[in-house]
Amino acid sequence: MGDARAGRLFAEGVAFHKQGRLAEAARAYAAACEADPAHVGARFNLAVALHSQGLDAEAERAYRRALAVKPDLVQALNNLANLLLAHERVAEALEALMRATALAPGFAPPWNNLGNALLKMGRTQEAAARFAKALEIDAGFHEARGNLGRALLTLGRPAESE
Quick: pLDDT tens for 114-162. Answer: 999 999 999 999 999 999 999 999 999 999 999 999 999 999 887 665 5
Residue 154 has a CB neighbour count (10 Å cut-off) of: 15
- Asked if 13 and 32 touch (Cβ cutoff 8 Å), the reply is yes
Quick: pLDDT tens for 36-55. Answer: 999 999 999 999 999 999 99
Helix ranges (DSSP H) in 87-141: 90-103, 108-120, 124-137
CA distance 61 to 142: 30
CA distance 132 to 115: 9
Is residue 1's pLDDT more than 60? Answer: no
pTM above 0.85, yes or no: yes
Residue 3 has a pLDDT of 84
CA distance 77 to 58: 15
What is the signed CA dihedral for 143, 145, 148, 154, rounded to 10 degrees? -90
CA distance 66 to 78: 12
Domains of the chain in sequence order: 1-71 (1.25.40.10), 77-162 (1.25.40.10)
